A and B are shown apart, each in its own frame.
Chain A
Amino acid sequence: MKTNFSNQLIDLPKKATGRAYWGWFTVFTILVLFGIGAWIYQLVYGLGVTGLNRPIFWGIYITNFVFFIGISHAGTLISAILRVSNAEWRRPVTRMAEAITVFALFIGASMILCDMGRPDRLLNVFSLGRIQSPLLWDVISISSYLFASIVYLYLPLIPDIAAMRDRMTTRGLLYSFYNNLALNWRGTVAQKTRLERAIGASAIMIIPLAVSVHTVVSYVFAMSVQPLWHSTIFGPYFVIGAIYSGIAVLLIAMLIARKALHLESFLKEVHFKYLCYLQILMFGLWFYATFGEYLVTGYGNEPSEMRVILAKIFEVHSWGFIGMFAVMLMAFFILTPTDRLVRALRLPTMKINSVAAFVLALGGWAVLFSIIYSKGMNSAPALVASVVYGLLLFLVVIPTLRKNWFSIALYSSIFVAMGMWLERFTIIVPTLARPRIEEMIWGSYTPSWVELSITVAALSVMALLFLIFAKVFPLISVWEVEEGAEAIEQVKTNMQEYLPDENGIG
């Protein structure tokens, strides 16, 4: 017997379609088509239409590749960790997390195709591949992760697909789609046991696999001897960044789904609160790794590495490095209870709408940066202005952005996603601009409209896939939420196992 909320959740895909749905669908489709057009233009005229040059042969395509592969950790890893650790609050969150993983992996992998001047040579990667090369480790680990993530998304979908099949009144194409994917699911004890076993095995498998994927992505850089890439910390540094950005994108997706599909009863404030707690932990780890990376390298004072560090802070690509710290600190201030400090110190605050506060925070900074850099100044004024402007915002705006856990999640996640994209940019480009070999020319890089269009298209594909998924499958795992409602007694029993005995000591 299905509960009332189960029926509502199974019917979610039908409710997904409204005027707003098709409006956004059209907007994203247009953006994707424009991106495809830009890619065709690039295929016809070659990579010369991008901002890539010698020695900067990797730009925002590879930045996007690392960023999207990072986002893919949202899901599977977070969902798997929460599942293995039996965190009961995970139940309405996992489906979206797993879906984001699969979509982000597809887009991340396709970025390599965009970066290739001759995509017709893609098969050479397989036919002429050398397992000694970290690029081949990447091919193996990402393809394994993609396949495993699809399986991991599919397994908990089976009972929900069967429920959707059973509710269908007509026998069309959609019916046979659900019927084939439902694998004759009847919910028998034998089937449930097998499914639990398969989900358990895949959750355990996916954790080291996800860690290996971003470690191997970092090895593409770290196995070379380029300054600031050849670092032992790169593996964990990339994994931390991946989980950090993954949670941010998951939070944004949850907020959109909650608002659009009226999922207020399922995605409650407590879900956002717990994920924000995870964000604070990830900020700490990210800051520690960043601090370790730059302190150790700077203290070593090795000339080729110092050239890159100075280029990051003071030279042409410093907007990425300073921008990264600026938005990451904003995210940290929003995530932590800075509003209490502001109130305790009786500092002045502005009484404005949180959206206006966000626009002010980000827009003001963007204007400030563009004025400073367009005047051809070096980054010193940008650094000073950032600190002054950041403090000003800290005083007047951040308390407004910390209205509740929804607004904290939304604004901090946008800043984190931006910061992590900038981090990947600032890892890739300045090192190539200041190569180790002194005889090589120094370079600078500005992405062209083609690269920017393809980047916007990649983000639009992500949104489009999410919209299509919401139309076909329930965004919340119905049977798991149902099971959670029935598991209250089990949770009580579990708690009694670790609570102290009444007798106490002795």
Chain B
Amino acid sequence: MNDNRTKNLVSPVIFAAFGAMMVFIAYLLVRAFSGAGIFEPGKMSVPLLALLVLFFGGVWCTILFIGYQLRKIARDE
């Protein structure tokens, strides 16, 4: 067995990716609500938007959970 313990570089990458995606989605939402079109018929409705945000929010929260598990693995906790 090898005894060289290393710093966990994977979890920070996952946390950073989560942060970047959240910022990107928030930026898109701000743009959507500050511009015209979102409430117009035939354009994207608010419930559909909420569904999209909830779905991808759920996906990225799972990824965040995996990042947390990897952190625990690296610390053997």
Contacts and interface: CB of A to CB of B under 8 A. Distances in A.
Are A and B part of the same complex? yes
Interface residues of chain A: helix, strand, loop or mixed (majority) = helix
A58 interface: no
Given A191-B73, A194-B73, A147 B28 contact: no
B73 A201 contact: no
Given A144-B21, A181-B10, A183-B10, A132 B32 contact: yes
A205 B67 CA distance: 14
Given A129-B31, A131-B31, A179-B6, A144 B56 contact: yes
Interface of A: 126, 129-132, 136-137, 140-141, 143-144, 147-148, 151, 154-155, 158, 162, 165-166, 179-186, 188, 190-191, 194-195, 197-198, 201-202, 204-205, 208-209, 212
Contacts, number: 106
Given A131-B52, A132-B37, A195-B73, A186 B32 contact: no
B32 A184 contact: no
10 contacts: A129-B28, A132-B44, A143-B21, A144-B59, A147-B17, A162-B2, A166-B1, A180-B6, A183-B8, A184-B76
Given A136-B28, A180-B9, A186-B1, A130 B35 contact: yes
A270 to B, nearest CB: 32
A197 B72 CA distance: 11
B21 A184 contact: no
B69 A179 contact: no
Nearest to B77: A190
Contacts of A141: 56
A153 B33 CA distance: 37
Nearest to B43: A132
A182 B1 CA distance: 12
Interface residues on B, range: 35 or more
B47 to A, nearest CB: 13
A194 B4 contact: no
Nearest to A205: B62
A199 to B, nearest CB: 9
A151 B56 contact: no
- Enumerate the 8 nearest inter-chain pairs by beta-carbon distance, A residue then B residue, closest first: A198-B69, A132-B44, A131-B28, A205-B62, A183-B74, A198-B66, A194-B73, A194-B69
